[in-house]
Amino acid sequence: MHRWLDLVLKHPRKTVLVLGALAATGFAPLGWWPLTLLAVAALIEFTVRASSFRQAALLGWCFGVGHFTLGNNWIATAFTYQANMPAWLGWVAVVLLSLYLAVYPALAAAAAWLIGRRNYGALVAAFAGCWIVSEWLRSWVFTGFAWNPLGAVALGGFARPGLAAVLPWLGTYGLSGLIALLAGAWLVAVKRGQRDWRGAALVLLPVGLMLLPAPVPSPVSSGRAYTLVQPDIRQEILNDPAWFEAQYQRLAALSKGQGERLVLWPESGVPDYLRDGYPERYYLDTYGADPALARRRLGMAIGPEALLLTGTVDLEIDRDRAIGARNSVTALDGSGTIRGSYAKAHLVPYGEYLALRWLLEPLGVERLVPGGIDFWPGPGPRTLDLGRFGKAGVQICYEIIFSGQVVDPDRRPDFLFNPSNDGWFGAWGPPQHLAQARLRAIEEGLPVLRSTTTGISAVIDGHGVVRQHVPRLVPGRLDGQIPPALAPTLFSRLGNVLPLLWAIALLAAGMVASRRRNG
């Protein structure tokens, strides 16, 4: 054991690279959270042993490279669904993105080293506080990429929220700091070298919390009926005009029903342009040349008393030509009348728009979503008043991953609708996406309804419990009544000020502990 440890310590950068990958196995679909705790504990140990600020930063960066490369491997799959760039470029993109994202664990490790140095207790507290700040930074710097916060490993199975039940009082980034603290407890237990009740508590407490059987109230309803549709339209045919009519017929068949109900279709659910006033050639690019006819067909598909929320595309026209597009959700009643819409605000770089187009386009780089014009962002979180169907907050696709950025603070909705097209992202992306939608439900105290093209579609209550779901790559529909919104949570009132306050408290504790030990 000591020989193995000596070998590991002689190659710290290679070791922490592997540790970072091990930490990512705690995310869905694997859910191996003990490996996450062990890997983070080992990173803290290597940080304590670092001889300088620079070495601590380098170790954190190597950890991040391994962590984000494995955790974001689903991005590579997206490159297999376009013909203009080689598929192997997807793995280049994953690694390049990871080289950047690893900057945030590097900052956390380096800052923690400055505060805690060789004091284990001080460094554990400082590391947890710095990790909170680093994830918060990652969520907005350069438009942000908040995928897979460390706190996501705390989610239990579909029927229980697990340790994530504390989200209303911590926020997602605060929960990530708690995971770092639990990993640090294991490390401190080992470093104490004493087999007593304190050591046992340090080992068992993280396990008990991670397996927390949080009580879940019996299902209740808001009285608002829904039909949520997953058509299982594969990415290979989604944008092929030859399949548009078959896609509509599948969605319409899965949506049949009577009475007052909210019908929910996914992102990319309707290829037709539904707005009037575009030049005629744009309507002819899709299946239906008449937007009024397209709207009436949709109204007939859902029935006269229903209301449809579906993914659509709207155009921005200037001088008789399209200069931009909006990834939108349109509300349409049974008569085919548009009752409201929402335009996606948090767009995917290189997916929905090509950043640095002037430089990259001549090099043959294209965005992954088909089309020659970029999508434009909408104004941000907005609540749609759907009358008797309630107030809906809409977050399209990966917008749902941004903690504290999904709800209009001035008009709290009754539920969140998260239409998505997860058909790009292989086997790892969809369960990770669903997990992050559950985090939003818990911290905001709002049900989340996810309709996706290929799965996983789900109805999630305000406790983070998945009440119904349709598995990946299966056509199906869910019927029921929308779970009620819970009372506004502390997080819903304070937003990300809350986890930052926890970070300040942890950093202060680390500084105090460091001074006392050094004194």
Enter the DSSP assignment of 345: -
3-state secondary structure of 311: strand
Active-site entry in 45, 344, 352, 443: 344
Active-site entry in 62, 130, 135, 267: 267
CB contact at 8 A, 117 and 123: yes
As a whole number of angstroms, the distance between CA 91 and CA 107 comes to 25
397 is catalytic: yes
Side chain identity, residue 337: T
Distance of alpha carbon 458 from its chain centroid, rounded? 14
> What are the residues whose beta carbons fall under 8 Å from the beta carbon of 315, sequence distance 6 or more?
273, 275, 278, 282, 322, 324, 325, 326
Enter the DSSP assignment of 228: E
| Kind plus residue range of the DSSP H or E element containing 359 | helix 357-360
As a whole number of angstroms, the distance between CA 34 and CA 40 comes to 10
256 is catalytic: no
Which strands, in side-by-side order, build the sheet including 225-230? Answer: 338-343, 321-333, 307-318, 262-264, 225-230, 476-481
Pick from 96, 137, 103: which is nearest to 360 by CA?
Answer: 96
Sign of CA dihedral 395, 396, 400, 404: negative
CB contact at 8 A, 255 and 227: yes
As a whole number of angstroms, the distance between CA 134 and CA 147 comes to 13
Distance of alpha carbon 380 from its chain centroid, rounded? 16
> What are the residues whose beta carbons fall under 8 Å from the beta carbon of 82, sequence distance 6 or more?
366, 368, 370
Q: Residue 519, exposed/middle/buried by CB under 10 A (0-12, 13-18, 19+)?
A: exposed
Measuring CA to CA, how many Å separate 431 from each of 37, 318, 322, 428? 21, 40, 36, 6
CB contact at 8 A, 288 and 272: yes
267 is catalytic: yes
User: How many CA within 13 A on the CB side of residue 60?
Assistant: 27
User: Residue with structure tokens 């067909």?
Assistant: 297
Measuring CA to CA, how many Å separate 271 from each of 152, 175, 294, 313, 398? 34, 40, 10, 7, 20
> What are the residues whose beta carbons fall under 8 Å from the beta carbon of 144, sequence distance 6 or more?
138, 346, 402
Pick from 481, 461, 455, 457: which is nearest to 469 by CA?
Answer: 457
As a whole number of angstroms, the distance between CA 178 and CA 514 comes to 20
Q: Which residues are catalytic?
A: 267, 344, 397
